[in-house]
Structure 1
């Protein structure tokens, strides 16, 4: 059933002020206990969502590069036994570019990881300090070089549209990033997420987010430069050499089944949504008690599946085929769309329509949330 597996490692050396992911700082981690729990949770998922070989595995976090390579290897061996692997399976691990973690790259590759996603975020020391990162600019460059030597495929993240950012600042930084020569880049505008330290700083007036118009100009510049360099956008914030797109993330955006294990991990498989316990200690207790870490499991009814598929799919440059919705979800895709507003947005050049397939045009991607709020039928747009 499930073709993809997500494994969440919740631990970080430090909590970044912009991060709202399920990450935790602990003085020590009992690796043996975590290996036992993750293996048990994996087996529980395979019991209900097995039957097809995996096409992708993604270690996310937290900071998975803090995992001992031996643990990664053991988890991959178990996944191979439970599901089997498709030829050419994509196995991605998120990593921070500290020199300590970079020393593990060769061992992680030997364990089976063939794609790494580096949380570089910036190649400027002052910016990295402001973002609360523990590595410096040179460490980021060194780690990127080490990753390119160790892994078949390398991606790295950058954050832009920071307070005070100008078009010239970002043009220079992005040009330097593109010159590194990786086949994939994830380029995110700074978002002030509720519950983060940055949200508190903004509320207290410590800094103000960048002006929306300038942020839109930076987004447009990003699209132009990446496309010219041969890494066009395939999703709102993700850019790749054609054929080098993240297969795992495409599973999410194309709304295909995946299992999620580890603290706070989400899953979508067999018409059900699953959520694991978020707090690491609660997760361990749940697995010991029940044999799995699920905190919530519920049925996804057809309309909810269809609306999720629509909202995820419209993030992709390829858009969605509304004609497939009848087969997949038992309801016409057109019923999810405000047809008059779609016509209007197409006339404005913010969306496009080719037969049964619709998508957001380049001019609309910088204001994606507003476009979705217009075109998706009332009651379907989720906060």
Structure 2
């Protein structure tokens, strides 16, 4: 089975108030030290994970577009030497649409990046200011144009369902975004995550999040507009033209093996879960002492693997095939799924059952977390 590689770059110019990712602001970053550490961590993974060719690489963060293109090139050259590349490998790098980072797009493309995911987040200046972004709407539009000139494939992220947003406002913004002509869009409802500045702001009464009902209406509107535009949802928050889905993210959702290196990176390989040290300084120390950044690794039980596969796979519009899961994990369908609850939610048209394939309907997607808790069989994780 071809593998995927995730590389986490933990640094940002500024911590966004809604972000709970493993990102850090540092005045100075020793690029030579980070080059050596990431290369060593990668070599450690390659020794364990074997030599199957890579079909995708994803630079996430943090803000990977702050990485020097020469560092990106060095990491890609090492990955190709260690694993080999599939002929159609997808190499994605997350980027912020600032003019400083967009200036590196040409060199990043020459280094081997062929897909960029732009954190546009909004096309409205007042919303960008609320979200704590460092770029403006015009800068975002210019960055999209620059990205399209340099990369084979471009994705943009937008955040909606923020306080006071109306259906008309979101419709107009989404149609402006579609007019940019990208082949992939990730559309996320604003979520107030614990331990973020927004969580503190809400607790102090600085603003009130949009209620669930209007947020749900905006979700339904999003599906309608994107379907009409030919970019249907292939995952709860991700939309693409047919054939332009993110191959790397599909690796996660289809529960295929991937290696993760860099601070806080997670991996799944051969039934083993890996997690790297999160704090950048701790990660560097760990690599210096042990030639890898792993903080924790453990073998997952078959039940845990099956449960994770269900939880990930049901996020996809394609759903999961229970007969394939039964063959993969050796667990009977009756032990994978609560049949009574499945029947109930199927009657409510929140799920569909076509033979052995289960899919969550568009009506069920906004209720996904609750549905998963209902239909995944009790005790599966300990099976």
Superposition pairs for residues 107-118 of structure 1, below 5 Å?
A: 107-118=107-118
Indicate the SS of the match to 1:367.
helix
Q: CA shift at 1:366, angstroms?
A: 1.5
Per-residue CA deviations over 1:80-120 (Å, capped at 9, x if unaligned) read: 00000001100000000000000000000000000000000
Q: Which residue of 2 aligns with 1:32?
A: 32
Q: Which residue of 2 aligns with 1:177?
A: 177
In structure 2, distance between residues paired with 1:377 and 1:175: 41
1:187 pairs with 2:191: no
Indicate the SS of the match to 2:179.
helix
Q: Which residue of 2 aligns with 1:69?
A: 69
* Runs (5+) with no aligned partner, structure 2: none
In structure 2, distance between residues paired with 1:207 and 1:304: 39
Superposition pairs for residues 1-383 of structure 1, below 5 Å?
A: 3-378=3-378
Q: State the number of aligned residues.
A: 382
Contact 2:346 2:352 in 1 (8 A): yes
Contact 1:266 1:275 in 2 (8 A): yes
**Runs of 4+ residues over 6 Å off in structure 1:** none
Q: CA shift at 1:379, angstroms?
A: 5.0
Q: CA shift at 1:380, angstroms?
A: 5.6
Per-residue CA deviations over 1:189-245 (Å, capped at 9, x if unaligned) read: 001111000011111111111111111110000001011101000000000000000
Per-residue CA deviations over 1:17-69 (Å, capped at 9, x if unaligned) read: 00000000000110000000000000000000022100000000000000000
Indicate the SS of the match to 1:106.
helix
Per-residue CA deviations over 1:102-158 (Å, capped at 9, x if unaligned) read: 000000000000000000000111100110000000000000000000000000100
Indicate the SS of the match to 2:76.
helix
Per-residue CA deviations over 1:303-335 (Å, capped at 9, x if unaligned) read: 000000000000000000110122211212331
TM-score normalized by the length of structure 2:
0.98
CA-based RMSD of the aligned residues comes to 1.2
Q: CA shift at 1:2, angstroms?
A: 5.9
* Runs (5+) with no aligned partner, structure 1: none
Contact 1:3 1:258 in 2 (8 A): yes
Indicate the SS of the match to 1:371.
helix
TM-score normalized by the length of structure 1:
0.98
Contact 1:65 1:95 in 2 (8 A): yes
In structure 1, distance between residues paired with 2:113 and 2:231: 23
